[in-house]
Structure 1
Amino acid sequence: MQDKRFKIANREAFIGVALVIINFAIWYGFAYGLGSGNPSEYEFVFGFPAWFFYSCIAGTIFMIILIWISIKIFFKEIPFDEEEDKQ
């Protein structure tokens, strides 16, 4: 019988990988989508180029909130102690 903690750990690892992929997609989309034009035509948000603001500042804030929500909803605390076989 496989320990149920491995199933939980695998699910949480997949969630972590999904969050990394989302973070990279947001960063890449804004950085190369908005930042690929002529620098003299950039728009600015709070003194930063829009591509930098949305990919690095707003994206980071969004990811922090998304990770916090994911941890509260999908992750659960499990004991690390060895389970004794019940006979």
Structure 2
Amino acid sequence: MKDQRFRIANREALIGVGLVIINFAIWFGFAYGLGSTDPENYTYVLGFPAWFFYSTMAGTVFMIALIIFVLKRYFKDVPFDDEEEKL
């Protein structure tokens, strides 16, 4: 029987890769979507260009909240003992 900890670790690793892809998509979408216009036409949020504010600042806050949610909802503690325990 395969150790259950490896199955849990693989699932959590895939979730982590998914979070990285979401983070990159948010950053890329806002940075190049809003930032691809002429700088004279930029709109500003709190003194920052909108593309920078949404891609970097708001995106970071969103990702921190998403990671906290995912950690509490989908990740679980796994014992590192050699004995296999019921998970």
The TM-score, its normalising length taken from structure 2, stands at: 0.95
Cα offsets for 1:32-75 (capped at 9, x unmatched): 00000000110000000000000000000000000000000000
In the other structure, the counterpart of 1:55 is 55
1:81 counterpart residue number: 81
How many residues align? The count is 84
5+ residue gaps, structure 2:
none
Using the size of structure 1 for normalisation, the TM-score is 0.95
Ranked by relative contact order (alpha carbons within 8 Å, sequence separation 6 or more), the top structure is 2
CA-based RMSD: 0.7
Question: Could you list the runs of 5+ residues in structure 1 that have no partner in the other structure?
Answer: none
How do 1:63-74 residues align onto structure 2 when only pairs under 5 Å count? 63-74=63-74
Paired-residue identity, %: 69
State the 4+ residue runs in structure 1 displaced beyond 2 angstroms. Answer: none
Provide the C-alpha distance between the structure 1 equivalents of 2:80 and 2:29, rounded to a whole number of angstroms. Answer: 39
Letter in 1 for 2:27: W
1:83 CA drift (Å)? 1.1
CA-CA distance at 1:16 after TM superposition: 0.2
